[in-house]
Amino acid sequence: MLTVDNVTKYYGKKPAVENISLSLGNGLYGLLAPNGAGKTTLIKMLTTLLTPTSGEILYCGTPIEKLGAEYRGLVGYLPQRFGFYRGNTPEQYLEYLAALKGMPGEGLAEKIDKVLDKVGLSGSKKVKMKKFSGGMIQRVGIAQAIMSDPKILILDEPTAGLDPKERVRFRNIISAMSKERTVILSTHIVSDIESIANRVIMIKDRRVFRDSTVPELAGELEGQVFEASVPDGEYEAFEREYFVLSARQEQGSMAVRFYSPSPAPYKAAEPNLEDFFLVTYR
Amino acid sequence: MKIFKNELKKLICCPFLWGLLLVFTAFDVVMLLNDLSPGNYDYPTMYEAIVGSENADEGAAEYYRDFYSYYSTVYDSLDMNEIFRQKMALYYPEVPQDSAYFRWAQRNYAELQERVESIRKTGEGNGDFYPGQAFLSGERLYMPAFRIHRRLCGLLSRSLLESMIWAALAVLYLEDFERVNAAEEVVFSTRQGRGVQLKKVLAGALYGLSGAAVLFGVPLGTFAAAVPMRGLWGTSVSAFALTEPTTFFAYPFVTWAKMSVLGQLAASLGLCAALVYITVATCAGAYFFAKNGFFVMLGAGVAFLGTLLLPFAVPAGVGHTLSMMSPAVLWYSAGMWFIEFDPARGRWFEVVTVAVWTAAAAGIMRAGWRRYGE
Amino acid sequence: MKILFNEAKKLFSPILLIMIIIFAFFVCEGFMALPFWPQFHVGSPYETEVYGELIERFGPTLSRDELPGFYEFEEGLIRELEEELPKSKLFKENGIETYEGYLEAREELHTKRDTGGTLTEDEKALLEECERYTFREMPAGKLLFELQDLDRIDRDIEYGRALATDESIEYERDYLDMVGEERARLLEEKFRSEEMSLLPATPVEVIKNDVLLLTIICFAAVFSAVLLMLVTDRIRGIYPLAAASYTGKRIFKVQAVVCAGYGLLVGVLVCVIYGAALINKGAGAFLDCPIDNYYNDFWVKLSYRQYLLCMALAVVIFSGAAGLLSYIIGRLAANYISGLAAAIPAAVALGTAVYFATALFFSAQSAWVLERFWSSVALPFAITLPICAFAAAGVGLILKRDRGRDLL
């Protein structure tokens, strides 16, 4: 169990996160927030790259600072900006990272092969990464995060650059992994969280705003999300009156999905997590 | 213009370049003040001896009188054709005397002999200043080429090398900026993006020359303040009193054309500016090929050393002269520009070298730019 | 261990290695004395051979008792030469039959030529013949150079600079009177010693000249590789991954160790290669010769071998210090160019320190201090070790800062 106990982080005099408290057991947690809300700061504190200004982070009741290498050995981390050596092949780079992760040499080659196969890179394991596309690099990043079979998997914007097929594959991998470990997925792609997250943690104004399930969050907007077809000439006026969640141009009109706290003379729609995200951070 | 200003701003706001400029300048001033310390050369005393004032120190006055009597007639017997013969026998004995190269070198020295005769006729060689000061300025200011072991003590040599290094670092920092900050894709996909690289070269050149102005200006200013040059600036470089008495060939500096000490300094500074520009352009051009500032800088250092040593590996002749036409060799001989000292160098050696390299640097830039654009 | 090895591998860059090798080649061929030794300064091409033979006969030193044997050896060479001289028609015609006669004739002709006189055709031909006899392919050539080297020893003895007697020391009296009491006492003690080192000037001159250049090569190799590794790691975003792993911020310590180790390794490698080249060129003959002879301002009985080891140790230590300094610069530099900009003055400062450290090995500044063995040997290290300590302290501060520092 990973516990975040009233953690605050200041950069100089500016607060990045304030009084964050969370309990994270096994399962997949989606970390949702707009830019600058404090997601990456929280993640960096969970990965010991940053030290909280106050509060502490505990793993099974022991502060992670005290556990040190023992804790880090349990963590698999994919940063937002995944660094790599252009001249290395994925196999070489994973070997390098495996040493840093303290993984034993025995059986390492098989583990690397297995994990590259899992992310669909077994055919490119001996190709230098300078020849890789952005999506392939990201897959190497995912591979290194999961290769040590971590108890805590922290992924910061993991699906950036992945095509839909790869994204589905990724979701399946981490979803399966989350049964026996804590997986924290920080992303802007709401659909990634919506389909697989057990719980969603939303941060607003540097604090935890919501810590709930997807149905519960979406359910808060029950009866407040509508769909309409608005003629082209009337769209601007419509936008001024209602909070438009999405709009799609059709022949002579705009197919609109919008939020209205009070009943509106339009067809009600089933609210989803993205609606809740947009309404919360509007 | 805005892009150019932005690029220049990147340089101006770069603290390490300022830091290096400060270190270089401080080093130059300290070295110069150490060289000029009263313990080394008591030039005010010597000056008093020359002007024959009542405060003159007898020892210094006697030294000046001896020097004058020994060297004042040096132009009477100076024979550049004989010097040519001796130098060819000593340094280039393998050059056949019936070769076009030999005849070309011989013609150069015949021209110099005419110059010597002109000096003799007009009295240009009689400069009214004291030899200690001249010796001081010659050694400290220009670093004659044969003083190999004290190469880096010469003010101009030092400032020139530092300027070339500093300017190269500045332009490479700018060229590599987007790559290091992972902004290449964003910048170069814009309409003006590719053109930015050329504006960087201009900004780098301007900034490099500004830095060079400091690296030359501060030590020169220190020198001018510390050494009472007085009448020396206007005196001819070919004055007999500038004879370097410790050299193997003890004769004055014979310039290709009449040139005052100040005139030679000004022309030298012009050459230095050109060399700094060549450095900037060559490094920028190399960057377009290598796309890595770090390796270009190291490569420039290795190439500098290589071109400096190349003349030692090339046998005497046309090849040898061509091998000497490099910025590195020009730097090595800072202090002997526009002056006769090597039969392998002709009248326009320095100017031609700079012109050729300016064209070469432009060529490298053009070729690199084409490749870069692809 | 694997992590250490992985980090060390990063220092190896093929392009950089090629550049360093080319740079080292240029420095060696352009500025070093070793490629030209023994024909360096006043050395002759057969110096190592003739001295080697002397050392084989008499040991690393020549004692007063052995002088007759030395003169006999010299006479033998003269006799061999005087068998070669009659083979030249020109020498026969000019009555040059002895070694002395040859030297006189040659000197006379040189003097006439160098003072502006005009040589007759016959004189030119004779001078050319004198010089032809010194060519390597001539049997007399080797003998003449060997005798030149032995002449030097003769002069040293004759003029009181070695195996001095009450009479011969008077040649040095003027100089001894000039230098001050303490130094004069030490010099006289050295000149009057019953044993004369058979080490010529050039083996030490070569080292004096080259030791600074060796450290320049080391610095170039160390600074460039370390800067490349550290700045690349920062720019490529490797540090967050590494710091978040089991290894954590220990990665910085590992890298510091690797950089220092690399510096030491480069220093050792450079010294081994140079040492091998030095021995290959014949310096092995001199290893047991004391270096405190007339040519060196040194008064302690250190052998040439020990001197080489001291210089090598200084190079290795400085190279290690360069590794640490370049680690500091690499960790603090934001990019490659700023790293290079900081490395240039650092390298110059280190180079200056090397110069003073190695020059202090032979320094006439304080004879009283230098007379004491440990002071004189310790002086170079009195400069190198504080620099290492300073560099190590700098690294320590950075690592300490890392421990509590947020890795943004």
Residue segments in chain C with a per-residue pLDDT below the cut of 50: none
Max mean pLDDT among A94-103, A162-171, C97-106, C323-332 falls in C323-332
Which residues in A lie closer than 8 A to residue C244 (C-beta atoms)?
A: 47-49, 72, 75, 77, 79
Give the distance, in angstroms, between the CA of residue B359 and the centroid of all CA atoms in the same chain.
Answer: 19
The reply to whether A95 and A223 lie within a common domain is no
CB B19 within 8 A of CB C343: no
Looking at the complex, does the CB of residue A184 fall below 8 Å from at least one CB of chain C? no
State residue B333's pLDDT score: 86
C336 neighbourhood in chain B, CB within 8 Å: 176, 180, 293-294, 297
Task: Specify the long-range contacts of residues C108-114, CB closer than 8 Å, at least 24 apart.
Answer: none
pLDDT of residue C198: 92
Residue B149, pLDDT score: 26
Global ipTM = 0.83
Interfacial C residues in 3-42 facing A (CB < 8 Å): 3, 6
Cβ atoms of B363 and B182 closer than 8 Å: no
B173 to C337: CB separation less than 8 angstroms, yes or no = yes
Within 8 A of C110 by CB-CB distance, chain B residues are none
Q: Which structural domain, as residue segments, surrounds residue A244?
A: 219-280
Interchain proximity C344–B301, CB inside 8 Å: no
- At C359 the pLDDT is 72
Burial class, C345, CB count within 10 angstroms (exposed 0-12 / middle 13-18 / buried 19+): middle
Mark yes or no for CB contact C23/B305 under 8 Å: yes
Q: Last residue of some domain: A217, A244, A265?
A: A217
Whether the pLDDT of residue B246 is over 60: the answer is no
Residues A17, A62 within the same domain = yes
Higher per-residue pLDDT: B214 or A282: B214
Q: Which of C235, C238, C246 should be substituted to probe chain A, the one whose Cβ sees the most A Cβ atoms within 10 Å?
A: C246
Give me chain C's average pLDDT, please.
Answer: 86
Both A171 and A42 in one domain: the answer is yes
Residue B228: pLDDT band by 50, 70, 90 thresholds? low
Give B334's pLDDT tier (boundaries 50, 70, 90).
confident
Find the residue in A nearest to C404 (Cα): A51
- pLDDT confidence tier of residue B145, bands split at 50, 70 and 90: very low
pLDDT digits (tens, 9 = 90+) for B273-295: 999 999 999 999 999 888 899 99
Is the minimum CB–CB distance between B248 and chain C shorter than 8 Å?
no
pLDDT digits (tens, 9 = 90+) for B57-86: 777 677 667 767 777 778 888 899 988 998
A52 touches chain C (CB under 8 A): no
Q: Decide if C244 and A97 are in contact by the 8 Å CB cutoff.
A: no
- Could you report the per-residue pLDDT of A40-53, keeping only the tens digit for each? 899 989 998 888 99
Same domain (yes/no): A138, A228: no
Q: Name the helix (H) or strand (E) containing B131.
A: helix B131-137
pLDDT for res B367: 87
Residues A54 and A160 in one domain: yes
Give yes or no: residues A138 and A97 share one domain.
Answer: yes
For residue C242, the chain A residues in CB contact (below 8 A) are 100
Where are the domains positioned within chain C? Answer: 2-41+200-404, 47-88+133-197
The number of residues in chain B equals: 374
A49/C404 touch (CB, cutoff 8 Å), yes or no: no
Residue B320 has pLDDT above 90, yes or no: yes
Confidence band (pLDDT; 50, 70, 90) for B44? low
B309: nearest CB among C15, C29, C348: C29
CB contacts < 8 A (A, C): 79
- Give the list of residues 6+ apart from residue A219 with CB closer than 8 angstroms, or none: A271
Sequence spans of domains, chain B:
2-42+80-373
H-type alpha helices, chain A = 39-46, 64-67, 69-72, 90-100, 108-118, 134-146, 164-177, 190-196, 214-219, 235-241, 273-280
Among A52-61, A67-76, B110-119, B299-308, the minimum mean pLDDT is found in A67-76
pLDDT at C22: 94
d(CA B54, CA B102): 54
Q: Which chains touch A (3 or more CB pairs under 8 A)?
A: C
Tally the domains of chain A: 2
Contact status of A80 with chain C (Cβ, < 8 Å): no
Which residue in chain C is spatially nearest to A99 when comparing CA positions? Answer: C3
